[in-house]
Chain A
Amino acid sequence: MLFKYNNVYINGTGTVTGPYEANGPLSKYFDKSYQDLYFGMPTWEQAESKLMIDSIDIVLSKLGLTKFNVDMMISGDLLNQISSSNYAAKDVNVPFVGIFAACATSTLSLILAANMIEAGQVNTVLCSTSSHNNAAEKQFRYPVEYGAPKKNASTFTSTGGATAFLSTKKSNIKIESATMGTIIDLDMKDPNNMGAVMAPAAAETIYKHLKDTGRNPDYYDLILTGDLGVYGKEIMKEYLLNEYGLTLNKYEDSGTLLYDLKKQPVKAGASGPVCLPLVSYGYIFDLMKRKKLKKVLLVATGALMSQSMTNQKLSIPAIAHAVSLEAIR
């Protein structure tokens, strides 16, 4: 489903990361980085919530605003009952919408916020997301100290919090249109190869977006998917070519950009809800502000995995939501 916007802008962003991201190639684009993984909190889960709160504080202070200027907050994360978001929202204390779309949370929150702003229902919205490597490992895989061997196709959940502030006030980056994705399930069951789970969802959403807008892939200076990783990225390209005969020339995946894949022990790359916003809110937005990129399509991809369903031998459903951004003067 395509949405068009005339009057929605991203006024500011805040990004906070852990040590792995800070040692990666994009470190200078982050607003704040911690050198340990607890951030002064007693547990991984509380640490993740702290990341989200930090990113909100940063974006508000950058814009010279307070929480009294915020009409609504939309956020989500990977933890059970999206607890990082709920506990962060308790601190922010504004009308709150919690969403779950796994790693597609960032673009889904942008779409929901843009829709409400365009309709004139709210004026200012905070869109937040977070993930924490150790909190995710604990919940979805094995205890952190277990150090379970990883498969080559597995990705590394990124640690960070990211927030975008949206309003009708004009700024450098405009949300131009968006495509809400549908769930795609091609019978992939391997939780160690999430790239293969999510690749067709990304491909379908990109195809639908291009079809509904009547654009060809070269209309965009960059199409950036969420967290497919090294192999998922290739699968996505193969899928688009086989199914729709489309070739993307200017295409990247955030999962392959966030870390130094040669030096850091991340296997197939980065993943997690915060992967795409960490790459785009800092690095890509900077390129857009410097007019190196004019039109960008963000396609966050989410593997909607439940351990219970995986144990019941069901396949993993995936979804992708696309947001088209324009750099303006």
Chain B
Amino acid sequence: MEKNKYKQIVDKVSPKEDKLYNAIIAFLIGGLMGIIGQFLIEFYSYKFGIPTKEATVCMIVTLIFFSCLFTSLGFFDKLVSFAKCGLIIPITGFAHATQSAALEYKKEGLVTGIGANMLKLSGAVVIFGVVSAYVFSLIRMLLGVI
């Protein structure tokens, strides 16, 4: 059979992803994460009397802590399967990806297992996060000079 003809059959039969539903869920859960983050910032800056910048760091640490804890307790994967990008895109997704990989490889040794595989999923986020931070800082600096 011709490849193109076969592709037509596959496209006809294969199920479509419900992108609108996924987007709405991600929007709502992602928005909820934003609300929680903002609440934490306000809470920390009010409670401890620290500037917003420092309160933001505390908020990030809190979210990372809880997503790692929930991953280790074994139910964060079910939340991610449901909320999809609503939990994957925020910092919770990064923590969860790192923690789940560490858990997966812990029995293959401290260095060869956890050390070598912990950033298997989230390594790309670190690399491209740093690269894009450089690029945008450069643009900002050049614009500032001009």
User: Which residues from chain A sit less than 8 Å from chain B, CB to CB?
Assistant: 42-43, 138, 142-153, 186-188, 193, 196, 200, 231, 234-235, 238-239, 242-243, 268
Contacts and interface: CB of A to CB of B under 8 A. Distances in A.
A138 B101 CA distance: 9
Interface string B110-131: 0000000000110000000000
Interface stretch (B47-55, B56-64, B75-83): B75-83
A149 B104 contact: no
Contacts of A42: 107
B103 interface: yes
B81 A242 contact: no
A149 B84 CA distance: 6
B117 to A, nearest CB: 9
A149 to B, nearest CB: 5
Contacts of A153: 14-15
A193 B120 CA distance: 24
Contacts, number: 83
B1 A231 contact: no
Interface string B1-42: 101011101101111110000000000000000000000000
A236 to B, nearest CB: 10
Nearest to B93: A146
A193 B80 contact: no
B94 to A, nearest CB: 12
Is the contact region of chain A dominated by helix, strand, or loop, or is it mixed? loop
Given A42-B107, A150-B81, A234-B13, A242 B5 contact: yes
B92 interface: no
Contacts of B99: 145
A149 B81 contact: yes
B1 A200 contact: yes
A143 B7 contact: no
B9 A231 contact: no
Contacts of B7: 186-187
Contact of A147 (B1, B12, B78): B78
Contacts of B97: 146
Nearest to A150: B81
Nearest to A244: B1
Given A239-B1, A242-B1, 17 more contacts: A42-B107, A143-B100, A143-B121, A145-B100, A146-B77, A147-B76, A147-B81, A148-B80, A150-B81, A188-B10, A193-B14, A200-B1, A231-B13, A238-B13, A239-B9, A242-B5, A268-B15
A138 B81 contact: no
Nearest to B71: A145
B77 A147 contact: yes
Contacts of A43: 107
Contact of A146 (B6, B14, B80, B84): B80
B81 A231 contact: no
B13 A145 contact: no
Nearest to B83: A149
Contacts of A188: 10
Given A186-B3, A200-B6, A242-B9, A147 B17 contact: no
B104 A145 contact: yes
Nearest to B106: A43
A24 B97 CA distance: 31
Nearest to A230: B15
A20 to B, nearest CB: 15
Contact of B104 (A138, A150, A242, A268): A138
Nearest to A195: B14
A242 B99 CA distance: 48
Nearest to B84: A149
Contact of A143 (B1, B12, B101, B107): B101
A151 B81 CA distance: 11
A262 to B, nearest CB: 15
Contacts of B96: 146
Contacts of A143: 100-101, 103-105, 120-121
A270 B106 CA distance: 28
Q: Which of B97, B100, B104 has the most CB of A within 10 A?
A: B104
A234 B12 CA distance: 10
A205 B107 CA distance: 42
B131 to A, nearest CB: 20
Contact of A144 (B13, B15, B104): B104
Contacts of B120: 143
A149 B80 contact: yes
